[in-house]
Amino acid sequence: MKRKIIQIGNSTQLVSLPRSWVKKYKTKKGQEIDIKEEENRLIISTENIIEYTPVEIDITDYDLSSALHAIQGAYRFGYDEIKVKFSKKEIFDFKKKKEIAVFDAVNIITSRLIGMEIISKKKDYFLIKDVSATSSKEFDNILRRIFLLLIEMSSELINIVQNRDMESLGSIVDAHDNITKFTSFCLRLLNKKGHEDYRKTPFLFHIIASIDKVTDNFKYISKDLKRIDLKITKNTFEMIKELNQAIQKFYGFFYKFEKKNIVSFVEMRRNSIFKHRNEVRKIGHIESVIIGRCFATFDILLDLFEARQGIA
């Protein structure tokens, strides 16, 4: 989109705002807007937020997990109102292997979405709405909290394995659910408002979405460990500890960009994979799956280091 510069007097030059942008963000005469210089660009922004038309999601014939992903996806995209339609009173929960009430299902899903509440319950739909006054200023604090919770979760898994504490394995799933709440919230903020430095927005979105995958892998590892009563070889335990160290390295690297940190991680990843690759032939199937999940997590972390370098 191009605009001609209008000369006013000897020193003033004006450029008109696109009408579509003005309508979209409902800017008015006399309202202040922000103009930021970025090299040869001028970034024009407003505090006005787009008001999305409420989205409708029909969860009839969905299971609980599918319904969760559908509603969570709309939340992350930035919708403030989500109309959840249904024609059956129950929905299947594969985890519990039984039907549960739709209201219970929607309540479970809503509890994972920061700021969202069920504000209306009708015969064939629920209305979920953002009732909070969320601010992009919260983004940086919550992102740091995500890192700390992830480190805490991976450290807790090490303690559980070391102490053969079967009863505490469920805490890893709880930690996963808690972290997912915050990753979803950050993704939502990036979609609705973007980062203060607009160039960082896609990199940060990718980093947070990838952290979500790392968290998933730890949840699956904990479930695999439960299936074999926490009985794993010393080498597999060492790899889980190395993953914890790698996450801490990325946390440090994210907030303090130093080349030595990525070099150290690359060396750790390479040594860990080569050291444990041959062990897969000597262990049971489930434990080999755990090793595979660790390999995959190392690959995600390598991608995270690369993404962080993009916003150095």
Rounded CA-CA distance 108/58 in Å is 17
pLDDT in tens, 212-245: 999 999 999 999 999 999 999 998 999 999 999 9
The pLDDT of 257-284, averaged and rounded, is 85
Higher model confidence: residue 55 or residue 281? 55
Higher model confidence: residue 192 or residue 83? 83
pLDDT in tens, 25-44: 788 888 888 887 777 777 78
pLDDT in tens, 151-185: 999 999 999 999 999 999 999 999 999 999 999 99
107-to-49, 56, 86, 103, 155 alpha-carbon distances in Å: 27, 17, 14, 6, 30
pLDDT of residue 14: 85
Q: What is the largest CA-CA distance in the chain?
A: 82
Question: Among residues of the chain, what percentage have pLDDT more than 70?
Answer: 96
Based on DSSP, count helices (H) and strands (E) in the chain, helices before strands: 9, 10
267-to-51, 69, 101 alpha-carbon distances in Å: 48, 36, 51
Task: Kindly tell me if the per-residue pLDDT of 10 is higher than 80.
Answer: no
The pLDDT of 62-77, averaged and rounded, is 96
| DSSP state letter for 87 | S
Look-up of token digits 């949840």:
219
pLDDT of residue 52: 60
Mean pLDDT, the chain, integer: 90
The pLDDT of 64-78, averaged and rounded, is 95
The pLDDT of 106-122, averaged and rounded, is 93
pLDDT of residue 108: 93
Per-residue pLDDT band at 61 (split at 50, 70, 90): very high
Strand partners, 128: 82, 118
